[in-house]
Amino acid sequence: MSKPVRFTNTTQSAFFATVRQRVDAYFQQQGVSKYANGAMWGKTVFYLTGFVVAYALLVSNQFGLGVMALLAGTLGALCAFIGFNVCHDAIHSSFSANKRVNKVFSLLFNLIGANPYMWSITHNVVHHTYTNIPGHDEDIEVAPGLVRLSAEEPVKKVQRYQHFYAFPLYGLASLSWVLRKDYIKFFKDKIGQHDNRKHPRKEYFNLFFYKALYYVLFIVLPLVLLDITWWQFVLGFLLMHFVEGLVLGLVFQLAHVVEGTAFPLPDETGDMREAWAAHQMRTTANFSTNSKLAHFLCGGLNQQIEHHLFPKICHIHYPAIAGIVKQTAHEFSLPYLENRTFFSALRSHYRVLRKMGKEAYTAQLLVPAAA
């Protein structure tokens, strides 16, 4: 798409102005900060301590293969939860009002295998601006040619089975980050509409230095310290990343690829014909908003509506402002998409995969027959 995408529907701008005013009023009336509170710091300590303990136990060489496999899977899950609960807020600068605190916690993203600088571009800039717009939001390009999520994509025969094989593919997400994705994205000329040709010199160093550090921590040291064969290490490494990738992939997919979420396209001039905030309401969904466990594990990513509207507010406050956002959306006749539980969202995502794959392929076969 050559035309720059724009959100120009000014008739819808009152929604965001109103909801932002009401959310600001909530924080003023309650006398609380929009940043991390005691509960947020408690979560941070819990996850980082769990990561250190799990890693230390894993490389201690004191356990059998079964326990080490369990530790590898646990470490993978903890990496995903650290990404959700700590690094995600830090990279959005919503963890703390102190830039140095955000910087320190964003660097932890490197320890789960991903580059925080590239994430800030692909996620903060591109995904948050062009959510679910085919050809612009690369977050919905899971495995081009294999997984079809939008009606704008061509239908292929193999996609008849995507409602089965998509889930194992999600398990490869973090492995792709570690070994290829960040390098490819870093050296692309353009990501969506973002000019990606110029990076600060320090980011070249950071990319290769922290990748090397990750390889030392998770490949070199285990091979040196553990009394296992190379193939046992490979299986453990893949298990860790499969758990991490599956958790990451599922949580992100359940926020944008469920029944009801839209994949709108701009017109021939690049106009989306709606306001940016209204676009977020049509392309984003919540799940498990009444589950304390989901909030503790997902770092607010189960409340993507609130996150997309207010990425500069720490996720620990999303449950408190959700009612404000929902009420305001209804007042302005905008959708507020949500699935009550994780499993209802999972079933909805499965149905979308089936519709975009098997059902679309079957319908395509019937068209020539009908003609």
Q: What is the pLDDT of residues 38-90, one digit of tens each?
A: 999 999 999 999 999 999 999 999 999 999 999 999 999 999 999 999 999 99
Instruction: List, for the chain, all residue ranges whose pLDDT scores fall below the cut of 50.
Output: 1, 371
Domain containing 58 equals 10-370
**264 belongs to a structural domain:** yes
**265 belongs to a structural domain:** yes
**1 belongs to a structural domain:** no
**5 belongs to a structural domain:** no
pLDDT for res 150: 85
pLDDT for res 1: 45
User: What is the pTM assigned to this prediction?
Assistant: 0.92
- Do 48 and 82 contact (CB within 8 A), yes or no? yes
Strand (E) or helix (H) holding 339: strand 337-339
**2 belongs to a structural domain:** no
Q: Give the total number of structural domains in the chain.
A: 1
**C-alpha R_g of the chain:** 21
**251 belongs to a structural domain:** yes
